[in-house]
Amino acid sequence: MKISDSGVSVAVVGATGAVGVEMLAVLEQRTFPVRELKLLASGRSAGKTMKFAGRDVTLEALDERSLAGVELALFSAGSGISKQFAPAAAKRGTVVVDNSSAFRMDPGVALVVPEINPQAIPGNAGKGAGGGCIIANPNCSAIIMALPLTPLHKTWGIERVVVSTYQAASGAGAQAMEELRSQTLDVLEGRPAKPKVFHEPYAFNLFSHNAAVNALSGMNGEEEKMIAETRKIWGDDEVKIAPTCVRVPVMRAHAQSINVTLASPATLDQVREAIASAAGVKLLDDRAGNLFPTPLKASGQDDVLVGRLREDLSQTPARFTHGSPTLGFEMFIAGDQLRKGAALNAVQIAELVFAGRF
């Protein structure tokens, strides 16, 4: 559908999913220059309409011809769909920003967080017929963790990160969010919670992340992604990362408890200043008021909220004085998985690629 006389032809693949809906909202909120818009989904959604910029846009079924002539395709329909349709689209000249895990660890595909490694975007991306490519959107938990840790990694180096995640239903899509709603109602009205999307009851419960567990390492897939993808984003294969990923009964926005060991010492004030000045991060660290990041506060926000900043006294010398340089620090963070963890990051990549067209 034609939206404007100028701009970029855009397709959203998986437009009806939680991330697809958020992609449309972010495109509109950030006034991305959309000339034409295609909304692509499964055959059962074809013919329905969704709103964009005050217009009704008809959903189309995705097939091999859908992306012909499309300059930018935002994919959020799962790894299988991405593997099936993204490579051919890129060969025809489309810039594909893929939100699935299909290409993240492909050495020929850039894995990008715009505030951290924009230089990874191919130089010819979006520039004519030869500018087609695939750019991968990292895992949501990796993005949310990497943003506040990147200024520490750049300034002092990071030896080790121990992180526990508290991941919301939004990370598993619209059906998971609905399961949390419906189970909560069931439990409050005295009925048993019946799992369908997840393997455990979700309402008033928490459980190890539902990604498959590696029988050899004992890590689940989400934990493996946090390690491998963070290393790729930073270009640092030596950094040690020990994650534990947990699904919690929160509708939207992930939280994380992080313990970090620096490679060289810093003071708490220096760490605080480095994080506060970083792009995509906002400090919410009110000790007197006991006000810190929460998923509710992070929901709908573009920035990752950071608080509970403190020295890790278990990594300090016996006669340590608060405020002296040390290696260990702790923090609690929260970020909106649907926005910075997915849709916003993808649109920010597109903004960089097509900056010359604005």
CA distance 191 to 210: 23
Tell me if 279 is assigned to some domain. yes
Burial of 295 (C-beta count, 10 Å sphere; 0-12/13-18/19+) = buried
Cα 330 from chain centroid? 22
Task: Report CA torsion sign: 142, 145, 151, 153.
Answer: negative
Q: 104 with 159, same domain?
A: no
Secondary structure (DSSP) of 48-83: -EEEETTEEEEEEE--TTTTTT-SEEEE-S-HHHHH
Opening angle at CA 280, ends 124 and 141, nearest 5: 85
CA distance 343 to 99: 8
Q: 133 with 145, same domain?
A: no
How many structural domains does the chain have?
2
Give the pLDDT score at 357.
64
Give the pLDDT score at 309.
98
Q: 123 with 163, same domain?
A: no
Give the pLDDT score at 358.
64
Q: 316 with 286, same domain?
A: yes
Would you tell me how many other CB atoms lie within 10 Å of the CB of residue 331?
26
Contacts 24+ apart (CB under 8 A), 79-85: 81/13, 81/14, 85/13
228: nearest Cα among 215, 245, 214, 240:
240
Q: Quote the domain boundaries for residue 94.
A: 8-137+342-357
Tell me if 66 is assigned to some domain. yes
Cα diameter, the chain: 70
Tell me if 2 is assigned to some domain. no
| CATH number of residue 119's parent domain | 3.40.50.720
Encoded amino acid at 80, one letter: G
Give the pLDDT score at 318.
72
CA distance 82 to 97: 10
| CATH number of residue 199's parent domain | 3.30.360.10
Q: 3-state class of 164 per DSSP?
A: strand
Q: 78 with 211, same domain?
A: no
The catalytic residues are 140, 254
CA distance 8 to 71: 6
Q: 90 with 184, same domain?
A: no
Q: What is the pLDDT of residues 55-108, one digit of tens each?
A: 999 999 999 999 999 999 999 999 999 999 999 999 999 999 999 999 999 999
Q: What share of the chain is helix, strand, coil (3-state, %, to 5)?
A: 35, 25, 40
Which residue stretches of the chain have pLDDT < 70? Answer: 357-358
Q: Is there a contact between 190 and 228 (Cβ–Cβ < 8 Å)?
A: no
